[in-house]
Amino acid sequence: VGNAGILGPLSPLGHVEPKAWDDVIAVNVTANWHLIRSMDPLLRLSDAGRVVFLTSGVGSNPRAYWGPYAISKAGTIGMVRSLNMAKGRKDIKINVICPNAMTRLGAAPGRAVRIKRKGDTESARSRRGGWGGSRGLHKHRGLHRCTA
């Protein structure tokens, strides 16, 4: 499990000091890269290797002034995507979990949230019986598997 992470400075990117930038990238990206490099021989020997990285919803839904953190978390998501494309074995699983990635939808934990689909109209919702359906109504659990 790769769970490295520091927040770093919350300021416009142009005001971030190089040392602060380097610290965030070193912990949030480079440490995860070192982890996967060190695990590679073990994964290749395994019958069913598993690696999970915890990152952040900010990696896929950035916030203002969270530049170094958002960029580093997006970097981890990209790293996992790249690893999955290159691994060559289906029995090795590499995943990313983004805690709180769905909180931008405004639901409290444990409450249902409405997911509006592209092109969704009031008449389309009424034909489906409202917002319901397995694709329209989801429970918010504070965890989301990033698209990696």
Catalytic residues: 69
> Which residues contact residue 27 at a Cβ distance below 8 angstroms, ignoring those fewer than 6 apart?
4, 5, 6, 72
The count of residues in the chain is 148
Tokens at residue 106, please?
């405004």
Cα distances (Å, whole numbers) of residue 118 to 33, 98, 115, 124: 36, 23, 10, 11
| Number of Cβ within a 10 Å radius of residue 96 | 27
Which positions ≥6 away from 143 have C-beta within 8 Å?
97, 98, 99, 100, 101
From residue 101, how far is each of 1, 29, 54, 56, 124 by CA, in Å?
19, 19, 11, 7, 27
